[in-house]
Amino acid sequence: MLNSRVNLLGLSQAKLAQFFQDLGEKSFRVQQVMKWIHHEGVQSFDEMTNLSKALRSKLNEIAEVREPEVAVEKISKDGTRKWLVRVDNGSCVETVFIPQGKRGTLCISSQVGCALDCSFCSTGKQGFSANLSTAEIVGQVRMAIHSLKETEPDRERAVSNVVFMGMGEPLLNFDNVVDAVSLIMDDLGYGISKRRVTLSTAGVVPAIYELAKVSDVSLAVSLHAPTDELRSELVPINRKYPIAQLMEACQHYLDGLGEHRAITIEYTLIDGVNDQPEHARQLAALLKNLECKINLIPFNPFPGSDYKKVSDDNLEQFQQILYKKDCRIMVRTTRGEDIDAACGQLVGKVNDRTGRHARHQRRLEAKQIPMLPIQNDDVNSRTSNREFRR
């Protein structure tokens, strides 16, 4: 039977206001219900004790508050956690929590798989299956916050930052992602400030212009190469939206943000591919006039990929060149490697619709390499959300 109840977990404040207006309810219901859903994390309308009985029973009929279910949780020895989260179409996506001192960063997925097929990313090798709904995106945040509260009750705010750097290209699931971003930043939602919520894109240029119209969320751009020739090889969407157009879009986005904001430029360093001194110099020149910080990410290997991680010497040299050119840089340390939770290792469990996954598996078999990690994961030993949380 088709579930036609509205999942209130996925309604932005504006949409929830419309929902209650259509029901002929007063506008203060929006505040009440959002607090129950996002602050208190309740599962049912019966727990919303400041709503009238009549309203509760109406809501039980037509609406629901439903979080995606956790299939597997893994905890790395460095404290990183990864949840395999089952979404409506039966596939699974991955959500990762990375504690770092006082900061706790939650890395969330926006799509099941990814259509973009960046050459160094294992999610791309899974092909594309579906967009996540707003409830499935926000549900990852809600699930993580409440799960961490149970195991780390002393941390006042376990999730301090949210990054859209899990599976998928967020700007190709624009409407659902924009609503999710607004709920994550909304005080009646998760109240995380715009500086601590980052949307990462491979460079869907027209969507960056659209985003500038509706949001001031922080933006990260996956650049990975300083020239079109190399970038088109690593990030195929560059053939459609080359670097010059991408840089213009970044500047436009930045212009809309106001003072003291910067774009994050992500640069995954791959041994012998994009880690040479000339690449660093070209990168510095390219970014000379853009207010940005450069995030250097050592490539994380995954089965079937021929690329290798940057050497320590090349990483050091690359950094030094950028420093001398006055670039602001950070090096992302690899976390959660033992549970395949590092950048680019997120593969979920995707019912691929593109055939790309099958092609990749055939390559692995031909090379006698074990299947992608998730195939070995015990997705069936699942814990239901309720058991898991309570």
Instruction: Find the shortest distance in angstroms from Cβ 203 to ligand SAH.
Output: 8
> What does residue 127 show for φ and ψ, rounded to 5 degrees?
75, -170
Pairing, β 69-75 against β 81-86: antiparallel
Residue 374 is given by DSSP the state: G
Q: Whole-angstrom Cα distance, residue 101 to residue 306? A: 34
Q: Is 136 marked active-site? A: no
Q: Is 372 in contact with 361 (CB distance < 8 Å)?
A: yes
Instruction: Find the shortest distance in angstroms from Cβ 371 to ligand SAH.
Output: 17
Chain positions contacting ligand SAH, by CB under 6 A = 118, 120-121, 165, 169, 200-202, 222, 266, 268, 297, 299-300, 302, 343-344
Instruction: Find the shortest distance in angstroms from Cβ 97 to ligand SAH.
Output: 15
164: which residues sit within 8 A by CB, 6+ positions away?
Answer: 108, 110, 170, 177, 181, 198, 199, 200
Q: Is 220 in contact with 264 (CB distance < 8 Å)?
A: yes
Q: Is 62 in contact with 320 (CB distance < 8 Å)?
A: no
Q: Which two tokens stand for residue 15?
A: 């949409």
Given the complex with ligand SAH, which of 37 and 121 has the nearer CB atom? Answer: 121
Residue nearest ligand SAH (C-beta atom): 344
Instruction: Find the shortest distance in angstroms from Cβ 116 to ligand SAH.
Output: 6
Q: Is 343 marked active-site? A: yes
Instruction: Find the shortest distance in angstroms from Cβ 258 to ligand SAH.
Output: 23
Q: Whole-angstrom Cα distance, residue 325 to residue 313? A: 19
Given the complex with ligand SAH, which of 201 and 361 has the nearer CB atom? Answer: 201
Catalytic residue among 69, 94, 169, 266: 94
Handedness of CA 224, 275, 344, 198 (dihedral sign): negative
Given the complex with ligand SAH, which of 300 and 361 has the nearer CB atom? Answer: 300
Catalytic residues: 94, 343
